[in-house]
């Protein structure tokens, strides 16, 4: 049984849902998972030091991972370098399966460039598109992105693109690391 620390940050809730699903898969593989919501939990270096493996899971907004994740990676980079690390990005580009790996995801490439931490696994996971809940400007911008990338543009649409089989497979892959 390994101790896994899962640090996540979500704005609209989908990353939170992914964090809890990933955690329950890992728990059923007999690991002990502690979840840290980076928005409302004060993290300390010992939370990382005490873990056998660390997962960082963060949503993207306009090309950048949410600030609490960026702060966490910058602040604790030296500690994270010493642990098996998994970095997971939640975004809508990952609705296309080939955009989930470092080779084809510009978001992942830029993330690693900013935080050169040598994670064992880096992957993107598809999030949720929820036009009705977006403010006018955000809806307009996401529609623009969707038009360019040939996704849904109907403003009444909500689509959960998250591939839950991928999340399960990731849990299995992570289990192999510890």
Ligand X SMILES: Cc1cc2nc3c(=O)[nH]c(=O)nc-3n(C[C@H](O)[C@H](O)[C@H](O)COP(=O)(O)O)c2cc1C
Q: Please, which residue, 9 or 83, has the CB nearer to ligand X? A: 9
Calpha distance 88→110 (Å, rounded): 13
Contact 100, 165 (CB under 8 A): no
- Using the contact rule CB under 6 A, the part of the chain among 24-32, 34-42, 46-54, 55-63 near ligand X is 55-63
Q: Please, which residue, 31 or 128, has the CB nearer to ligand X? A: 128
| Chosen residue from 49, 63, 82, 118 binding ligand X by CB under 6 A | 63
| Chosen residue from 30, 46, 62, 116 binding ligand X by CB under 6 A | 62
| Residue 62 C-beta: closest distance to ligand X, Å | 5
Q: Please, which residue, 13 or 77, has the CB nearer to ligand X? A: 13
- Using the contact rule CB under 6 A, the part of the chain among 5-13, 33-41, 114-122, 170-178 near ligand X is 5-13
If DSSP states are collapsed to H, E and C, what string results for the chain? CCEEEEEEECCCCHHHHHHHHHHHHHHHCCCEEEEEECCCCCCCHHHHHCCCEEEEEEEEECCEECHHHHHHHHHCHHHHCCCCEEEEEEECHHHCHHHHCCCCCHHHHHHHHHCCCCCCEEEEEECEEEHHHCCHHHHHHHHHHHHHCCCCCCCCCEEECCCHHHHHHHHHHHHHHC
**Ranges within 86-145 binding ligand X (CB under 6 A):** 90-93, 127-128, 134, 138, 142
Q: Is residue 26 near ligand X by the rule CB under 6 A? A: no
| Chosen residue from 60, 80, 117, 170 binding ligand X by CB under 6 A | 60
Q: Please, which residue, 6 or 142, has the CB nearer to ligand X? A: 142
Q: Please, which residue, 13 or 155, has the CB nearer to ligand X? A: 13
Residue with tokens 């270096």: 45
Binding site for ligand X (CB under 6 A): 10-15, 59-63, 90-93, 127-128, 134, 138, 142
């Amino acid at each position: 049984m390994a101790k896994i620390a899962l640090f996540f940050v979500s704005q609209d809730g989908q990353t939170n849902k992914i964090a809890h699903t990933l955690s329950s898969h890992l728990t059923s593989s007999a690991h002990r998972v502690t979840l840290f919501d980076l928005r409302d939990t004060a993290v300390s270096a010992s939370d990382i030091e005490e873990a056998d493996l660390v997962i960082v899971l963060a949503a993207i907004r306009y090309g950048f991972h949410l600030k609490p994740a960026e702060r966490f990676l910058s602040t604790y980079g030296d500690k994270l370098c010493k642990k098996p690390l998994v970095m997971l990005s939640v975004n809508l580009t990952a609705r296309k399966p080939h955009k989930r790996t470092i080779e084809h995801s510009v978001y992942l490439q830029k993330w690693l460039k900013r935080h050169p931490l040598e994670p064992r696994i880096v992957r993107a996971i598809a999030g949720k598109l929820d036009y009705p809940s977006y403010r006018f400007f955000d809806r307009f911008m996401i529609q623009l992105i969707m038009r360019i990338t040939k996704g849904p543009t109907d403003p009444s649409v909500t689509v959960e693109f998250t591939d839950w089989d991928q999340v399960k497979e990731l849990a299995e892959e992570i289990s192999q690391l510890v």
